[in-house]
Structure 1
Amino acid sequence: MTINRPGLPEDLPPAGVLWARWALVAAFGATSVDERRPSAHRTGHWIDDDGLHRDDGGCTWWVLSRRGDGRYVLYGEDESSGTRWHEPRVDLLAGGPAWLPWDELNDRLSGDELGCVYWYEDGAWARAPYPDGLDDDGLDCGMSELADRAQAARLLVERLAPADGGPDAEGVLAEAEGGPLQDVDALLARVRDPDGGEPDPSAVARALTRAGLTGLTVAG
């Protein structure tokens, strides 16, 4: 899947599909140590009460949050984004619906930390209108690896050992997109740490459940 520069709403897959891919990558990298670490001190992909996160600790950070009733919001920043420097200033929240996390987004805006905002409702993505002279909003660099299934599968391969008779990474992605995952125990047995450390299947199981990929719910 190709993402334009600047991004267009139709460049993104349906929000539920994007959520499933991102959640799998995040879950299979989960550890008990990271669960206790504040978001401000984390990098990589992860899930918490605010949603799904991606942060490389330097030039790019992103959040995808579920807002109920089939609504999602995607927001973040990449160093390639020109929205903050464009003159006149781009109003990234123009036309945004009332259910957006306005306090969070306005706080990010006030700190010059926001490159773009996309929202999903009634089966379609939308964003604020952009001026003709804007070259990039960062969506391509930030989301291309998750918007494209093949690229997302490569991320998952790093965390999921192959298994005879078991689905490959693209098969697991397809299953999650259709949801829920069918044989979670078999998948947990395949968890691996790409850095050679000890895998943490229990943390992976909790993250999969938190993301809604197992058909279970997080205990309140």
Structure 2
Amino acid sequence: MTIQRPGLPGDLPSPELLWARWALVAVLEATSEAEESTRYRTGTWIDEEGLHLDDCGCTWWTFSRVGEGRYVLFGEDESSGVKWHRTPIDMLAGGPDWLPYEELRDRLEGNELGCVYWYENGAWARAPYPDDLGDDGLDCGMSRFVDRDDALSLLDEHVRHDAPGAEILMDHAERYRLTAELLESYASPADGSVPDLPAMGRALRRAELTPRTATAG
């Protein structure tokens, strides 16, 4: 699946599929040490606000569920030209009233926001862009989860290499039937350490990828 530059709402897959792929990476990267850290957090993780990605460099993103059938995706990649556009672009134009406006406006005031997408009534949407905008950062930020092969490659350093663990875990996550037993069978950090299964279990429950909490078929 290709993401245009700038991104189009139709470039994004269903929010359930995007959530499943992103959440699986967050679950596999979960550690008790990271959960307890009070320092600025990087990597991929899930908390009460939703899914997060921060590479401590050029890109950060948040993906949140906002009630039944509603999602919001926002963040920034250095490739985004939105906030630098000569004619100011209102990234919140046309947004529904349930968006997290306080946080989004704080980000705007801090010059930290590159784009905002939202989902409701079965479709993605965003503010209108001028024809001369070159990029909003969606491609560089989200292609890692939108393209399934790219998403699978993110799992390589977290699963056993003597079994098709990445494909199996991804398949179960996308069908919302991932279990702690599967994680225990296939999780294997690249540094050779023991997987932090308790932290992974907590992240899995928060991600709601298990059969009892299925939201997508």
Contact 1:51–1:64 (CA<8 Å) still a contact in 2?
yes
Aligned length: 213
Give the Cα separation in 2 of the matches to 1:188 and 1:97.
41
User: AA paired with 1:208?
Assistant: L
Separation (CA, whole Å) in 1 of partners of 2:10 and 2:172: 23
Query: What's the CA shift string for 1:156-206, capped at 9, x where partnerless?
Result: 122121465xx642332222122122x431322322222333321111111
Measure, in 2, the Cα distance between the counterparts of 1:158 and 1:36: 23
Kindly indicate whether the alpha-carbon contact (under 8 Å) linking 2:21 and 2:174 is maintained by their aligned counterparts in 1: yes
Q: Do the aligned residues in 1 keep the contact of 2:31 with 2:199 (CA within 8 Å)?
A: yes
1:12-31 to 2 correspondences below 5 Å: 12-31=12-31
* 1:213 matched to 2:217: no
> Letter of the aligned partner of 1:191 in structure 2?
A
Equivalence for 1:150:
149
Q: Distance in 1 between matches of 2:69 and 2:85?
A: 32
Partner Cα distance (1:208, 1:87) in 2: 43
Q: 2:188 aligns with which of 176, 181, 192?
A: 192
| Contact map agreement 2:70 2:119 (CA 8 A) in 1 | yes
Provide, for residues 102-130 of structure 1, a one-character-per-residue CA deviation record: whole Å limited to 9, x for no partner.
10001000110000000011221100000
Aligned-residue CA RMSD (Å): 1.6
Task: Report 1:78-93 matches (<5 A).
Answer: 78-93=77-92
Aligned counterparts of 2:16 and 2:162: Cα–Cα separation in 1: 27
Q: Quick one: distance in 2 between partners of 1:124 and 1:88?
A: 28
Q: Which residue of 2 aligns with 1:106?
A: 105
Distance 2:78 2:161 in 1: 35
Partners of 2:133 and 2:27 in 1: how far apart?
35
Contact 1:60 1:78 in 2 (8 A): yes
Q: Matched residues in 2 for 1:101 and 1:28: separation? A: 28
Residues 165 and 186 in structure 2, CA contact (< 8 A), matched pair in contact too: no
After TM superposition, the structure 1 = structure 2 runs for residues 1-220 of structure 1, keeping only pairs within 5 Å, are: 1-38=1-38, 41-162=40-161, 168-181=165-178, 183-215=179-211
Q: CA deviation at 1:64?
A: 0.3
1:216 Cα deviation after fit: 5.4
Letter matched to residue 30 of structure 2: A
Contact 1:21 1:173 in 2 (8 A): yes
**C-alpha distance in 2, partners of 1:209/1:216?**
10
Give TM-score, length-normalised by structure 2.
0.93
- 1:50-91 deviation per Cα after TM superposition (whole angstroms, max 9, x unaligned): 110000001100000010111110000011000001021110
Distance across 1 between alignment mates of 2:161 and 2:148: 18
Distance 2:165 2:122 in 1: 29
Q: Deviations over 1:125-155 (max 9, x none)?
A: 1000000010000001101111111110111
- Secondary structure at the aligned position of 1:77 is classed as strand
